[in-house]
Structure 1
Amino acid sequence: MEKARPDAGQASLVASRSAAPAGGAARSPWRRRADRLLAALVWLTLASVVAAWGLLVFLSDRWWPATLLLFGPRWVLAAPVLAFGSLALGLRRRLLLPLAAAAAIVFGPLMGLHVPNPLRPEAAGPRVRVLTQNLGRVKLASEAVGALLTELSPDVAAFQECSPPGDRVSPFAGYTLHVDYNTCLLTRYPIRKVDARDRKDVWQKDGSGAITLYELESPHGVFSLLNLHLDTVRDGLEAIAVRRLSGVPELEANTAARRWESELAREWARRAAGPLLIAGDFNMPVESGIYRDLWSEFTNAFSVAGFGYGFTKKTRLLRARIDHILLGAGWAAERAWVARSIGSDHHGTVADLRWTGAPGGG
C-alpha cells in the first residue's frame, strides 16, 4: 500500500519546530545584543579585578597608581560585580561563574582576607600577650585605656601617639611605663635597656621617626621589642586629591621618604640582642612594596593567626590594616585579633604569642 503523505500544513509545522531553538522561542535581536554586551562587561570586570590584584601585589608603593589603590577603598571594586550579578541572574546565568571568581578575588586577597591554616602546628612554650594601639586623642591614663588593659591583660602594650601623665608614672597597677616623646610602653616585665633612635634627621624631612628598641626581662628569658610609629601617606594622598596629576611628584616623594624611614627602622632592629618582637603603627598594609621589601621576613601575627580582614584604621570610606605585630625567630603566633574601639581612629591589634626558645635578633 502507498504511505500517506503529510499535508502542507503538517509539513510547515514540522519545519517550524525543527528551526526553533531548544530552549524555546528565538531571542529577539535586542536580547542577543544585551546578552553580548553583558558578557563583555562581565569579562572586562573579571579582567579588571585580576589587574587590580596584580597592581596591589607587585607595584603598590612602587608606582603611584598602585599606591592609590593600596590606600584607597578597595571595596568599590565589588560594585560592578554585584551590579552585573543581578543582571546575569535574569539574563544569562552562565556569566555568574566569572562573576563569582571576581567576587572571590575582591572579597578575598584584594581586600586582605585572612583565614588561619587549620593544619598549622600548635606552638608550645610560655605565652606572652602583646597589644599595640595608636591612641590618637585618647589619653593614656583614661578610663578607656584602663578598661582595655583590664579586659585584655596584655603582658606588654606598645602605644603610639601617646599622651602620658605629667609625672610619667604608670597609672595602672602591675605595669612599668616608659615614655619616648610620643610613644609609650607599658610592661609587666622589668626594662633592662632602652635604645631610642634620635629622630632629628627624620623630623627635618617631616617624618615620624619613632623607633625605640627595648630589652625586657621576662620569666622566660630576655627578649627585645621594637616600638614603631612610621610616617603616614596622608600628605601624598592629599596632594593628589587637591592638585590631581600635579600632586603625583609629592606622592612619589612621600613614598620615597616612607621607604627611607622604614629602612632606618629595619636597620635599628638589627641591634636587638634577643628574640625580637616588633609592634606599632607602620602606616602601611602588608601588600605595600615597602613592607614586602623590608618587613616580610618577619612573621605577621595576624596574617598567620588572625581571622578576617583585621582592619585597624577605619574611616567613612577607608578600611585598612596598618598596625602590626611582627615576630622574629624564637616566637610563634597562637592567636591574633583586633581589639574593640576605645575612641581612637585606630583599633588595637592583640596577639597571643608562644616563646619557642629559639635564638633571635633583628
Structure 2
Amino acid sequence: MNRAARALSRTGCTVALLALAACNGGDAPAPADPGAPPRFALAVVGDSDSHSYQDRISFPEGDPARGGAYRAVTFNWYEILARLRTDQLDVGEWGVRGTRGRIARLLRAVGIPARAPRKEDYDYNFAISGAGCEDLVEGYRQVPSLLAMMDADPVPWRHGAVVFRIGVNSFGTQRALEALGADPGDARVNGAIDACVSALRESVARLHARHPDTRVVLVGIFDNTHWAMHFDHAWSPAALANVGRGLDRFDDALRAMADADDRVAFFDDRAWFHAHFGGRDAQGHGAYRTLEFVDGTRVENTLGDAPFHTTLADGHAGTLVSGRWAGSLLDFIGRQWGLDFRPIGDRELLALVAPAGPALVAGREREAAERTATPPGAH
C-alpha cells in the first residue's frame, strides 16, 4: 500500500464517504422530456470570469464580492445562459460538488475521480476563481475533472462543446501588461503566454482523444488596459500598442489551433469589446461608447455593483454586459456549427435585473460620484 493509500485509510471510512458524497454532490438530474429535441451540452473551464457568482460557498451571504447589495441580480455569462436558454442548453444541475484539495488528492491517489475545490455551481462548470493556465492539467486539474465527468456519461458530449476561457491570471495582470507595454517581447510574460498555449493544446488533445465529436471554443484574452478597475493607471499610445502586440501572441496561437481543426473555434474577446465599447483615442484617453438597451438603460465602462456598470466593485463583469457577451457567444457557436439557438434579447436581460427595481434607480444616484470611463491622460 503506498503512502497516499495509507493516509486515506487512516482518514477513516467516514471522511472518505463524506468526500465521495461531496465529489458527487448536487441534485439528481431531472428526467428528460422524450419529445424534446436534444439540448446542446455546454461546459466551461476557466477562472473567476466563469465561476458562478451565486456560489454561496465561495462567496457567502453578506460577502461584498460578486455584486454587494445587488448580489441577487448579479450573474455572469454562464449563469445567464443557464437561466435564459435551459430549453436549448444543458449545463448540468445546480448544486454543491467538489471537496477540499487534500481529500481530493487522496481520492485521486487511489483511482477515485475527485473535483476540487468545493463550490456551489452547475455540474458542467469547472471554472475556479483565481485559476491560471497551470490549473488546466495540473494544480486544480480542471481538465482531468472535466474528462472524468464526460467519461461517466459520454452521450451528451457528442452534441456539445467545452469553452476554455482562461489566461488573465497567468499573463493579463497589471504587472504583466506594464511589462508588455515597455517591451512586447518581454521574456517573462512571453514565457507565461507560451506555457498557457501549451496547456491549452494539451487540454484540447486530451479531450479529443476521448471525445472526438465534442466542439471546443477558445476564448481570446481580454485587454485589461480597458478594465475599469485600473483606470487610475495612465497608458501612453506607444505602450497601448505594445500591449496589443504582446497579447496577439496568445490570440494568434489560439486562432491557429482553430484554423487547423473544424471542431475548434476561436472567439476574439478583444474584438468583441471594441465592437461594443470602442477603446481609447490616439492620445491614450478613454473614448468608450455606451451600451444601450431597448428601454433606455445605458451601460457604461465604469466601476460599481449596480447593473449599469461594466465592472463590479470587485473587478468582475456586471450582469447586463455579461448578458450581451453571453448572447454573442451563443450566436457565435450557432454560426460556427450550424446550430439554431434563439438570440438573447434585451428584454430578457433586463428582466434578470428587474428585481432591483427602485434599488437600481437609487443606485444611479448613490454611485453618481463614482469614477467615469475616462482615465487620466497619458503622460
TM-score, normalised with respect to structure 2? 0.34
Larger fraction in strand: 1
Larger fraction in helix: 2
